[in-house]
Structure 1
Amino acid sequence: MPNNSLDPIVAALQPIESIEQAASLTERPFSRQLLANLTQIEPAIISGWLKFMTDDWPLEGFPEWFALKLDELGFIGNHDTPLSVSRFVASLFRNHAYKSVLDPACGTGGLLSAVSEQVGTHAALYGQEINAEAWAWACLRMLVGGQNNAQLQLGRGLIEQSFEREGFRRNYDLVLTNPPFGMHIDYEAISRSALFSEIQPEGMAPRLSSETAFVRQAFNSLSSDGIAAIIVPNGFLFRGGIDRKLRENLAARDAVKAVIGMPARLFVPGTTIETAILILSRNKTDSERGQILFIDARGLGQRDGSRIELDAKAAGKIQSTYEHWTAEDGFSEIIAVEKLDSDNFSFSPAHYINPAPRTELIDAGFRHTRMLELDQRYAILKEEYETLRSKLRETN
């Protein structure tokens, strides 16, 4: 038991170093990464951690508590996956046995932890993360959850293939990832990786978006029977240029199993960007071949303040539609690959599904939050306008 009279950081350091030593973690992810940034972490989380270390904190239920606390963390330049979303994505693959699972942008390890809960510890988990603080929290998440089947590496998932070895490259049974959005990636840097040799649309741009790069990497990392689920911004589903070429390439290979348009505001406050889950497969069933299942779930979920929570009812509806491969008016459609929009090769569910008429009640709290957001946006635009107007006056 640590000495309560010690400095809080020193008090935290003692049990963390003991954990690292007991787990033979030579890289010391917690004491080297987390403790260097304690002042940037939510104070309530740190106080909760110290309380656990210094008081008689009940061990039963602690992994769940810890996962919820990680859900509250924020990382600069990185958005993590909410717990409800991680568990939903993992649940889509609950009825299958996987030997190896990869997340090349694992964040705090939410997706890997969730899939381990679904498929058990017989699957080897591999995760890579560029953000040192997030990676350290992921290591701690796995220890707390007793998920000793995970190997996590700190590094750039698009360039540094930490788990690459003879006969193992392109041999993951399942790839799940929620990569960073909108970052510009230098194509020359990532093209040196053999993972990018298989899907290679002509006329590559010198730079491409991070989500595009991760979609290509996910598919190229799959085994002959592998399947991948990538959370992408909606823009990837219909943008032109290299994104269109990649969509056409994937469609030509009959590699797209399903596209699920997700509810808006799932990732608030990290981002308000609307997202979808792109599911790729190297070995579709006979009934799936030549077809793509589109699901438009944008209207599902429950509001929790300014955020949308993917509740059990919404998750169950999407999951049932995906597992049973069914079409439902206003919610899902099964489209033959040859009937895709040949001009743009759009993967957007809204492009193929006519929304069913519905009446939506907006609660007062959510309406008030949206009004405040709009007021703040208006104030920023007004200030920019006045600044620009003043500069124009000065030039006259």
Structure 2
Amino acid sequence: MNEKVSQDSINKALWSVCDTFRGTISADTYRDFILTMLFLKYISDVWQDHYDSYQKEHGDEPELINELMKNERFVLPPDASFYALYERRFEAGNGERIDQALHAIEEANGTKLKDSGKSVFQDISFNTDKLGEEKQKNTILRQVLEDFAKPELNLKPSRVGSLDVIGNGYEYLIKNFASNGGQKAGEFYTPPEVSDLLAELLDPQPGDTICDPACGSASLLMKCGRKVRENHGGKNYALYGQEAIGSTWSFAKMNMFLHGEDNHKIEWGDTIRNPKLLDKNANLMLFDIVTANPPFSLDKWGHEDAAHDHFGRFSRGVPPKTKGDYAFILHMIETLKPKSGRMGVVVPHGVLFRGSTEGKIREKLIEENLLDAVIGLPEKLFFGTGIPAAILIFKKEKVDDNVLFIDASREFKSGKNQNQLSVENIAKIVKTYRDGDNAEKYAYLASLQEIRDNDYNLNIPRYVDTFEEEEEIDLMAVRAERVKLEEELDALEVEMAGYLKELGYE
């Protein structure tokens, strides 16, 4: 079965695996099991595909093939392969064997699957009582192994091609859990086209250091890296990230591992309360590009310690206790390199116009000439919220003090539950941003003085006039049409009266 596989068929197969867990444990927990098994199956298929290629080329020479396999990008111990586990699926102890296999893979690959000593699989154990007593647990895990052995989940590179299996699978499952009522999952889901748009706008260059301080599964980071490879060739860049949730951090590390992104550092921890990306002097690291889709208006973000922040990130003001949007923005600003630093962040629209402390912070950022563009996005792009969002672009060194406003809120592909940005929508936004000028009913280049005159309110309709004049109504034509309709109605009444008379109704 070597025909190309589509992401859609992989997604459907993953969703069907969920049936094995439903009714036993919560969606958030079995999502982690499914994605970890997806990782194990994928690296096993990659390993097997390469082994089969060598065998076809050199014949049945196990010693020679094993020597050649030492050149692989990762190591897969024989007993840790998915297929070794599958062969023993009817034996007792499936949970323990899977955990041992994951530990063996981690140990065999050294730092590629670790950061600061933390184990990628530390928060994921298949040998858990959450799956029930031993007999039930063993049956569920046998079924999971059989689910992943189905032809639809044959993930050999010859079938998968360049698909981002873990990243896309993660996004698909998160999206579906969010749309099926697990709204919290939506906080960490960035639609792929929004990641594409951010990567295009920030235009990563060879040699850039790129950071996402709320990196989720690291899909946005990897898209920025891919832009360098596509536009310039080579992998001359470095990726950095931090993620607060342990299991999500694990998937970011798995994603990097699968894509050969060895020049990376992904830390686990709360970016606002405990930033981990520090230089040798224990100061915040600085980057060429900083980009993120932080949780919208996060409550309990760390307000209690912000006034005494060791890194001085809140010198422009402390954001409100129940809305952490500007906490992430200020952190990101402080991690930009002084000359080359540029930043793209997704925010809810309230960030553009809310007053009080947020208004004062916004005023200082604008007066420091850091804000470069405000881009309004369509509603229903993000799961977990139907509200429209915006992208703010900041730059450390601008050529002028203008700010470009783009209203892209009305151009999208309409879906059943979620809207999407098309390739054409993205291209138009990027071109407009790079042109940096007015576009009728779409973009407006505002001067600093205009923004001051608006009391530093960045609400897009204040700058981009999208008003469409209604077509003039010809009242005489409307009257003539009404008269004609009345005449037709009178004629019908006469005709109806005739029919009633014939039937004996007076």
Fold match (TM-score > 0.5): yes
1:328 counterpart = 2:428: no
How far apart in 1 are the matches of 2:168 and 2:129? 20
How far apart in 2 are the matches of 1:49 and 1:218? 42
Q: Is the 8 A contact 2:273 2:302 kept in 1?
A: no
How far apart in 1 are the matches of 2:226 and 2:124? 27
Given candidates 267, 271, 275, the residue that maps to 1:157 is 271
Instruction: Return the offset for 1:126.
Output: 1.1
* Overall identity of the aligned pairs, in %: 24
**Amino acid corresponding to residue 336 of structure 2 in structure 1:** L
1:66 counterpart = 2:182: no
Instruction: Return the offset for 1:343.
Output: 5.1
Please give the per-residue CA displacement for 1:213-249, whole angstroms capped at 9, x wherever unaligned: 0011111111112011111001111111111111100
What pairs with 1:330-349 in structure 2 (closer than 5 Å)?
330-342=441-453, 344-349=455-460
TM-score, structure 2 length as denominator? 0.63
Please give the per-residue CA displacement for 1:71-112, whole angstroms capped at 9, x wherever unaligned: 123373633211221122111123634531111111111211
1:106 counterpart = 2:215: yes
Matched with 2:84 is: 2
How far apart in 1 are the matches of 2:385 and 2:451? 30
Aligned residues: CA RMSD: 3.0
- SS of 2:239's equivalent in the other structure is strand
Instruction: Return the offset for 1:133.
Output: 1.6
1:216 counterpart = 2:330: yes
Matched with 1:124 is: 238
Q: Is the 8 A contact 1:100 1:124 kept in 2?
A: yes
Larger strand fraction of residues = 1
Matched with 1:17 is: 103
Q: Is the 8 A contact 2:277 2:285 kept in 1?
A: no
How far apart in 2 are the matches of 1:267 and 1:132? 23
How far apart in 2 are the matches of 1:102 and 1:195? 18
How far apart in 1 are the matches of 2:367 and 2:422? 35
What pairs with 1:76-115 in structure 2 (closer than 5 Å)?
76=184, 78-94=187-203, 96-115=205-224
Q: Is the 8 A contact 2:199 2:220 kept in 1?
A: yes
Instruction: Return the offset for 1:141.
Output: 1.1
Matched with 1:283 is: 397
Matched with 1:190 is: 306
| Higher mean C-alpha deviation, range 61-70 or range 99-108 | 61-70
Q: Is the 8 A contact 2:289 2:342 kept in 1?
A: yes
| Higher mean C-alpha deviation, range 155-164 or range 249-258 | 155-164
- SS of 1:302's equivalent in the other structure is coil
Q: Is the 8 A contact 1:15 1:53 kept in 2?
A: no
1:304 counterpart = 2:397: no
1:355 counterpart = 2:445: no
Instruction: Return the offset for 1:325.
Output: 1.3
Given candidates 358, 381, 404, the residue that maps to 1:266 is 381
- SS of 1:169's equivalent in the other structure is coil
| Higher mean C-alpha deviation, range 310-319 or range 177-186 | 177-186
| Higher mean C-alpha deviation, range 335-344 or range 9-18 | 9-18
Aligned residues, how many? 348
- SS of 2:84's equivalent in the other structure is coil
Instruction: Give structure 2 stretches of 5+ with no counterpart.
Output: 1-82, 132-140, 175-181, 230-234, 471-506
Instruction: Return the offset for 1:159.
Output: 2.0
- SS of 1:207's equivalent in the other structure is coil
Q: Is the 8 A contact 2:204 2:225 kept in 1?
A: no
How far apart in 1 are the matches of 2:451 and 2:374? 13
- SS of 2:123's equivalent in the other structure is helix
- SS of 1:259's equivalent in the other structure is strand
**Amino acid corresponding to residue 29 of structure 1 in structure 2:** V
Larger helix fraction of residues = 2
Please identify the structure whose Cα radius of gyration is greater: 2
Instruction: Give structure 1 stretches of 5+ with no counterpart.
Output: 360-396
Given candidates 124, 131, 134, the residue that maps to 1:33 is 124
**Amino acid corresponding to residue 85 of structure 2 in structure 1:** N
